[in-house]
Amino acid sequence: MAETSVLPNPLREGIRMRRTPDACAMVIFGASGDLTERKLLPALYYLARERLLPGGFSIIGCSRTPYSNDQFREKMRQAIVTHLNLDNGNDPILESFCKNVYYLTDNFGDPKAYSQLVDLINRLDQEGKTSGNRLFYLATPPSFFPVIVKHLGSAGLAKPKDPDKTWTRVVLEKPFGRDLESARQLNRTVTRVFHEDQVYRIDHYLGKETVQNLLVFRFANGIFEPIWNRRYIDHVQIAVAETLGVENRGSYYEESGLLRDMIQNHVLQLLSLVAMEPPASFDAKAVRDEKAKVLRALRPIPMEQVNDFTVRAQYAKGFAEGKEVPGYRSEPNVSPKSVTETFAALKLSLDNWRWADVPFYLRSGKRLAKRVSEITIQFRRVPHLLFQGAVTDSIEPNVMAVRIQPDEGISLRFSAKVPGTTPQIRPVKMDFRYGEAFGASPPTAYETLLLDCMLGDNTLFNRDDAVELSWELVTPILDRWKQDGEKGLASYEAGSWGPVEADAFIERDGRAWRRL
């Protein structure tokens, strides 16, 4: 199999080159949607440009919007040019890439549509382009997942043509369920048709370079792993802040809310990577086993204690990027009496040997002051202050910050003496940035994850048990918030860092949110 000279994925064992995947057909359901234009096609083009896609790789878009092959190709070409800021002139790689893009106008619930899909896939196989390998990507609203999966099974598309030589896989976008029971039901529906090893539940946060590097940082450096425990760490903060409001997604957000949209998946996945034990090896099963152990160790929050361990809030009108913006209840397709949360903060505990008594503080919100995702590890203070005359108060604790976006990198704060004849101590920072250290921006999450799908590497994808474990934690919180309604729902000004209730929430433990 062909090898490339591209830098290896840091999760792979040893230093080895990335393989080019086997020839395949990628079928995108919901291909006329925003995700396909903004993320999927640009990521696939990037892989083609980097010579990481096999010859004959073909894309089949499926959606109800009527397009001919040529119309869809031109739409995707323009999307790639726009979102990657390409020169709109002659690009032989882009032209060759678009020639292998096809389109079927169909209704996801119509069996005839799947017969057309079978005919097209078989034709591409016979032309020697796709070698019998199939990747189905469900970029549709979650309500279509069971419908599409069942029809793929009925049409004979879920099983490999030759299990010894070919493969078939399915990718499911989030959200995977809306509570514990719906997630369990969806898992049962999917695994009646596909084997669990064929199912790739995608969470794009896990494809971000800094997230992957967190494991390398922990397990490839002997100076950090020995202090990665309750003995040396005071607490952990995980923050995912967005400046945008709900934009044109008011209807979706009314059904979802911040807890479902961000914390149940993205944030809990980050927590599991921070807290996991060293896996026996960096293969998919070992890594995912350790992540699942973390989720099992999370202490459940009983419904009657939810308000002691959580804060929820909704943004009011304010200013974002110098412009006045409306409050959540004034957004399009949002009820003027909505109690949907756009901000949430949680305090979680892990009942295991490594993390006993170390709180994990999570927060995420819309319309906050800055777009930033960061993991903060705050270490314990020194037990005895020797330098009484050198500091006015106390020495600040050491803090390690893993910046996921933007300005991907890692920083470490420690104390140092100020030059001079009088003893003065001040905090200083060591800062590592990907762009400066390696001279290039890291690939986007979808480039990494799509390539892993085609290579059959599911290390960075959610397993069925992990999905259900995260819903086990979140569902009682959702139930209590629904029961309370308006009661307990705080408010914060758009463009701020969230409600004052969230500050009081962490300050009662003698701690404070890190300034991002």
What residues are labeled active site? 266
**Are 365 and 245 contacting, i.e. CB atoms less than 8 angstroms apart?**
no
**Are 473 and 298 contacting, i.e. CB atoms less than 8 angstroms apart?**
yes
Rounded CA separation 123/102 (Å): 12
- Token pair in block for residue 223: 């100076």
Rounded CA separation 40/51 (Å): 17
Crossing angle of helices 268-275 and 284-297, in 10° steps, is 100
- Token pair in block for residue 398: 């050491």
- Count of Cβ atoms closer than 10 Å to residue 264 Cβ: 28
Please give the span between the terminal C-alpha atoms of the chain, in angstroms, as a whole number. Answer: 45
Rounded CA separation 323/243 (Å): 12
Using the Cα atoms of residue 234, residue 235, residue 236 and residue 239 in order, give the sign of their dihedral. Answer: negative
**Are 493 and 502 contacting, i.e. CB atoms less than 8 angstroms apart?**
no
- Token pair in block for residue 207: 């494809």
The residues that bridge with 241 in the sheet, in sequence order, are 365, 372
DSSP code per residue over 5-57: -SPPPTTSSSS-PPBPPPP-EEEEETTTSHHIIIIIHHHHHHHHHTT-S-TT-
Q: List C-alpha distances in Å: 270 to 67, 83, 478.
A: 40, 27, 20
Q: List C-alpha distances in Å: 349 to 107, 184, 398.
A: 46, 24, 21
For 414-437, what is the HEC assignment?
Answer: EEEECCCCCCCEEEEEEEEEHHHH
Which residue in the block uniquely carries the two structure tokens 């004034």?
A: 330
Crossing angle of helices 445-455 and 41-49, in 10° steps, is 70
Distance of CA 85 to the CA centre of its chain: 24
Rounded CA separation 91/194 (Å): 39
- Token pair in block for residue 296: 């099992």
Instruction: Please state the φ and ψ torsions of residue 164, each to the nearest 5 degrees.
Output: -85, -20
Using the Cα atoms of residue 152, residue 458, residue 214 and residue 407 in order, give the sign of their dihedral. Answer: negative
What dihedral do alpha carbons 256, 261, 265, 269 form, nearest 10°? -150
Closest CA to 353 of 472, 228, 235: 228
Q: For 483, how many CA atoms within 13 A lie in the half-sphere containing its CB?
A: 10
